[in-house]
Amino acid sequence: DTAVSQTPKYLVTQMGNDKSIKCEQNLGHDTMYWYKQDSKKFLKIMFSYNNKELIINETVPNRFSPKSPDKAHLNLHINSLELGDSAVYFCASSYTGAKNIQYFGAGTRLSVL
């Protein structure tokens, strides 16, 4: 069973569209995250959610909005997509606490044309 799963794996869309990426974890973790990996492979955190509360938001445009219907899911919605949004987006989860390991999904490659 996949611990952290993201869908879709690949997403190709036009500028200006709205899209969503889904993430689910079956590890019983209480914190979930979204990371963005740019074309130079630099990985940067976007959001994290703990018990449905946003606890990190790293200067991400408000076109990006995380939505967590329950503790096992954290979806990423992106409005009015721009060329610069093209990247690989990773979902991750962990138990609360810095010592705890974050487990990552396989990533979603978003291409904005």
Partner 1 sequence: AQTVTQSQPEMSVQEAETVTLSCTYDTSESDYYLFWYKQPPSRQMILVIRQEAYKQQNATENRFSVNFQKAAKSFSLKISDSQLGDAAMYFCAYRSHNNNDMRFGAGTRLTVKP
Nearer to partner 1, 15 or 55 (CB): 55
Q: What is the 3-state secondary structure (H, E, C) of the chain?
A: CCCEEEECCEEEECCCCCEEEEEEECCCCCEEEEEEECCCCCEEEEEEEECCEEEEECCCCCCEEEECCCCCECEEEECCCCHHHCEEEEEEEECCCCCCCCEECCCEEEEEC
Stretch that binds partner 1, among 18-26, 67-75, 77-85, 93-101 (CB under 8 A): 93-101
Which of residues 21, 92, 110, 112 is near partner 1 by CB under 8 A? 92
Residues in 65-84 at the binding interface with partner 1, rule: CB under 8 A = none
Nearer to partner 1, 18 or 58 (CB): 58
